[in-house]
Structures are given as structure tokens and as C-alpha cells.
């Protein structure tokens, strides 16, 4: 299997505090990889390193084939990122948001035009192209936010709690989009606090106190810890956390 993320003892220290300690794992092409952890376990630090936004203290990593120390700009061009908190500009229209993100990623004007047309059709938003994003229902916004995060056809997309606060139906529709993107070969790296969503991932890692405490398929983890659900597995691992958050 082709790997798109490889890390080897990736570590980040802030002074004497080791935020992320010797993370070693691989993520395969087209995989949905769930990156879980308690608050303060070091998830954000790890994500920031993987996205080329934070220089590691030690260890190695390659993201989409690029070195995490020397090729961060190439990494940024080859990944997408979406968070629940901030993704779209409310005071821009649907097509302006697409154009903005595509432009940021350096796509040519003809390519942007073509992509906008495709996306609007795919999302069934043709009639809403000139609607301000703030006027869209939350579910449509979510879909649009996800689509613009992969507008430049990245190898990997990082989703940081993409479904927080979303209603139960929209949350599940969002996972349909994730599945569809993964089927096309986009690698999905996702964090979530919904433990039922951890079950939708191919593999899941759980960080506790800066280290990866467990990594396997949801079925494998449940078997290993003798638990009924991912929530039980997570609870068992995360409650052992000693770090004062």
C-alpha cells in the first residue's frame, strides 16, 4: 500500500514540556484515518507539524512525499484543511468563496472557471452561485466548506472537528462526502469528539499525554481492549492521562 504520511519519532518540545513525543505512524492513500485524543493530549501540535505550520524539535516525517523540515511550502500546496470554526467567508458568495480558495492555491483562471462550474453542479448549488454564504443552511455550508478544502485536488485533507455542533442528519451526510472523497483516492485525516464517527474510520489513533497510546482499526481496538464501543476504548485510555491538560 502506498503511504502518504510517514512519521518517525516525530517530537515537539516547548521548553521542558514535550507536547508530542516520538510519534511514529503511517497513513495510506485513500485511507480515512481518525486522529483522536483527549483535550491537551497533543493533537493540535501534531496536526500543525503535519501541515507544515510548526517545525518539529526532532524526528522525521514526509507528507505527500515532501520533507516536513525543508519542503513545508510544497506540503501546504498538496494538502487541504478544514475546521468547523473557520472555513468560509460569510460575506462572500458561493462562487466567490470557491474562486478565493482556488486562487490561494494558485490555480489558473480557466482552471478555476472550470472547477467552479463542476463544483456547483456536483453540490447542486448552481442556482445559489451568487448567494452569500451566510444565507445558506448549515448543511450546505458544510458541504461547500469540504469541497473548497479539496478544490486543488490535494493528496491529503486534514479535517479538524468538521462536524462539531451539526445536526445528526447533516453530520451523517457529511460523512457520505468523506467516503466519496476517499473513494477517489483522497486521504482523509480527521479529528472528532463524536466517538460514533471514530467507527467510520479505517484506522484510528488515540493520543494520551503526547504519545500515541493505541493505533488500529476500530474493530481491532475494541477487540484489543475488550470493549463494546470506541467510546469505551477511548475512555479507558484517556482517563489514564496524567498531564494537567
Partner 1 sequence: MITIDKLTKTYNKGQVLAIKDVSLEVKRGELFGLIGPDGAGKTTIFRILTTLLLADKGTATVNGCDVVKDYVKIRNNVGYMPGRFSLYQDLTIEENLNFFATVFGTSIRENYDLIKDIYIQIEPFKDRRAGKLSGGMKQKLALCCALIHKPAVLFLDEPTTGVDVVSRKEFWEMLARLKAEGITIMVSTPYMDEANRCDRIALIQKGQILSVDTPAGIVGQFPVDLYAVHSANTHKLLREVRNYPGTDSCFAFGDALHVTFKGGAAGAHEAGAGPAGLTNYLRERGLADVGMEKIPPGVEDCFIQLLKS
Residues making contact with partner 1 (CB under 8 A): 37-40, 138, 161, 164-170, 172, 175, 179, 193-196, 199-200, 218-219, 229-231, 234-235, 238-239, 241, 244-245
Number of Cα atoms under 13 Å in the Cβ half of residue 30 = 6
Number of Cα atoms under 13 Å in the Cβ half of residue 198 = 24
Nearer to partner 1, 43 or 115 (CB): 43
One DSSP character per residue, 174-234 reads: HHHHHHHHHHTT-EEEEE-S-HHHHTTSSEEEEEETTEEEEEE-HHHHHHHHT-SSHHHHH
Nearer to partner 1, 37 or 59 (CB): 37
| Farthest-apart Cα atoms in the chain, separation | 55
Question: Least separation, in Å, of the C-beta of 243 and partner 1?
Answer: 9
Question: Least separation, in Å, of the C-beta of 4 and partner 1?
Answer: 20
Nearer to partner 1, 33 or 200 (CB): 200
Q: What is the dihedral of CA 59, 238, 196, 151, to 10 degrees?
A: -30
Question: Least separation, in Å, of the C-beta of 1 and partner 1?
Answer: 18
Question: Least separation, in Å, of the C-beta of 65 and partner 1?
Answer: 27
Nearer to partner 1, 65 or 164 (CB): 164
Nearer to partner 1, 106 or 244 (CB): 244
Residue ranges of the alpha helices (H) in the chain? 43-50, 72-78, 94-104, 109-122, 138-149, 168-183, 195-198, 218-225, 230-238
Nearer to partner 1, 11 or 191 (CB): 191
Question: Least separation, in Å, of the C-beta of 143 and partner 1?
Answer: 15
Question: Least separation, in Å, of the C-beta of 175 and partner 1?
Answer: 7
Cα–Cα distance list, 233 to 137, 160, 199 (Å): 35, 21, 11
The Cα 97–Cα 95 span in angstroms is 5
Question: Least separation, in Å, of the C-beta of 62 and partner 1?
Answer: 28
The Cα 116–Cα 126 span in angstroms is 10
Nearer to partner 1, 70 or 242 (CB): 242
Angle at 98 between CA 95 and CA 104, to 5 degrees: 140
Amino acid at each position: 500500500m502506498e503511504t502518504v504520511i510517514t512519521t518517525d519519532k516525530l517530537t515537539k518540545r516547548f521548553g521542558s514540556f514535550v507536547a508530542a513525543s516520538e510519534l511514529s505512524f503511517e497513513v495510506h492513500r485513500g485511507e480515512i484515518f481518525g486522529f483522536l485524543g483527549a483535550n491537551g493530549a497533543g493533537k493540535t501540535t501534531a496536526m500543525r507539524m503535519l501541515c507544515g505550520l510548526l517545525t518539529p524539535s526532532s524526528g522525521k516525517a514526509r507528507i505527500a512525499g515532501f520533507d516536513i523540515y525543508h519542503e513545508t511550502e510544497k506540503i501546504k500546496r498538496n494538502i487541504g484543511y478544514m475546521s468547523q470554526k473557520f472555513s468560509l467567508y460569510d460575506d462572500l458568495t458561493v462562487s466567490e468563496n470557491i474562486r478565493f480558495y482556488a486562487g490561494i492555491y494558485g490555480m489558473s483562471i480557466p482552471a478555476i472557471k472550470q472547477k467552479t462550474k463542476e463544483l456547483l453542479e456536483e453540490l447542486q448549488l448552481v442556482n445559489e452561485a451568487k448567494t452569500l454564504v451566510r444565507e445558506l443552511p448549515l448543511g450546505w455550508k458544510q458541504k461547500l466548506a469540504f469541497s473548497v478544502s479539496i478544490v486543488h485536488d490535494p493528496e491529503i485533507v486534514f479535517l479538524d472537528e468538521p462536524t462539531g455542533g451539526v445536526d445528526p442528519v447533516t453530520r451523517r451526510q457529511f460523512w457520505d462526502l468523506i467516503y466519496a472523497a476517499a473513494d477517489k483516492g483522497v486521504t482523509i485525516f480527521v479529528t472528532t469528539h463524536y466517538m460514533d464517527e471514530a467507527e467510520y474510520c479505517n484506522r484510528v489513533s488515540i493520543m494520551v499525554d503526547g504519545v500515541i497510546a493505541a493505533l488500529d482499526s476500530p474493530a481491532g481496538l475494541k477487540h484489543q481492549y475488550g470493549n463494546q464501543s470506541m467510546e469505551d476504548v477511548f475512555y479507558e485510555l484517556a482517563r489514564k492521562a496524567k498531564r494537567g491538560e
